[in-house]
Chains A and B, each alone.
Chain A
């Protein structure tokens, strides 16, 4: 079944002709050309596909494009503003929270959701929140450090 799906993506209205079977990650990558969101496992485990839909982090490989009709969608491309890295992205860079970078967009999008709900997460809370994001390179320790530093930087810049 062919259908037209429209939503707001990184602040702009977008629309595409897709199939009812088209996954949201497919629509984002292949129809809309934003390839920062990755398909890792395609089975809801690895989190490389995590984006925000209506303010919540979700696994875009486990959503139909049709389910995002009318939604507010944010991908990794929508995080840095005006070519300047978001404080969380800067922390990942500074604390070497990535090596190959494949899991990184998902880590960032997942972490942004965590920090929005819990601006000062403990190490344990960070580790538990990121259970849905797998990394094959780093061993996670630098990711946790990057999240801690990023959360602190975000608090500082918002004047908390």
Chain B
């Protein structure tokens, strides 16, 4: 790693001040992405602002029609929380299959969402559940949050405080995991909300996106057969050692079908 100054503020205002005063400062949440990146010398922050000392950023709250999950809540805690298991079981199940057990003990919701990794699981849920990302400055709707590969609508030094997940009528998330990393080669969350069905895809494109053709078909008829004959345009999909764009496009339809079946049985 390159040299850096480590800070562990005990308040948001302290964290904000350090970020503003140091142009190359970065937030560290769980560190499950940032530390490996720094160890490979692919990131060179001058300062690390560790948010783990700010207790208000952790926890799950039930507001009735939504769950508000603090940005520093780790994946293991989301997966095990009774409020999540009863309120949005698909979200608990998603969190429980991120990485491995040790990664889940450190990795956080806020870190995942802020990073917009094309293969991360959480962005599919944030998008499918029509969530709201709450920061220290404003609330950002999911539909405008993920803007590109490792890009979000967050401004410089903006701190994610929590994500507000609306409870769906029913939902499910299925992914085809990379056998080694367990990242999504293709992952689909299908959610039936009061305003119709939302289908969010991760792993396939530059960032999580909604498959609107699938949403229309499923809103009319929430069954796997409604997806017959439908495809997603894989021309701009990711292609790498693990899967070609064409195979990812195929996997998206397979995962979407399985997600509908899983959600339908809720």
Q: Which of A24-65 contact B (CB under 8 A)?
A: 42-45, 47, 50, 56-59, 62-64
Contact: A58 with B102, CB < 8 Å?
A: yes
Q: Residue B100 at the A interface, CB < 8 A? A: yes
Q: Mark B74-105, 1 if CB is under 8 A from A, else 0.
A: 00100010000000000000000001111101
Contact: A62 with B8, CB < 8 Å?
A: no
Task: Determine the interface band of chain B, counting residues with CB < 8 A from chain A.
Answer: 20 to 34
Contact: A63 with B102, CB < 8 Å?
A: no
Which B residue sits closest to A54, measured CB to CB?
Answer: B105
Contact: A21 with B182, CB < 8 Å?
A: no
Q: Residue B150 at the A interface, CB < 8 A? A: no
The contact of A132 among B1, B4, B48, B103, by CB within 8 Å, is: B103
Give the distance in Å from the alpha carbon of A132 to the alpha carbon of B103 in the complex.
8
Q: How far is the CB of A106 from chain B (nearest CB, A)?
A: 9
Contact: A132 with B101, CB < 8 Å?
A: yes
Q: Mark A107-129, 1 if CB is under 8 A from B, else 0.
A: 00010011001000000000001
Q: Residue A12 at the B interface, CB < 8 A? A: no
Point out the residues of chain B lying under 8 angstroms from A42, CB to CB: 39
Contact: B35 with A62, CB < 8 Å?
A: yes
Q: How far is the CB of A133 from chain B (nearest CB, A)?
A: 8
Give the distance in Å from the alpha carbon of A64 to the alpha carbon of B6 in the complex.
10
Contact: A131 with B3, CB < 8 Å?
A: no
Give the distance in Å from the alpha carbon of A114 to the alpha carbon of B101 in the complex.
9
Give the distance in Å from the alpha carbon of A94 to the alpha carbon of B106 in the complex.
33
Contact: B6 with A62, CB < 8 Å?
A: no
A and B contact pairs by CB, cutoff 8 A, 23 listed: A3-B6, A20-B3, A20-B5, A21-B3, A21-B4, A43-B36, A44-B36, A45-B180, A57-B101, A57-B102, A57-B105, A59-B102, A62-B32, A62-B35, A62-B36, A63-B35, A64-B6, A64-B35, A66-B8, A113-B101, A113-B105, A114-B101, A132-B101
- The 8 A-B pairs of least Cβ separation, nearest first, read A132-B100, A20-B6, A56-B105, A59-B102, A131-B100, A21-B1, A66-B6, A1-B5
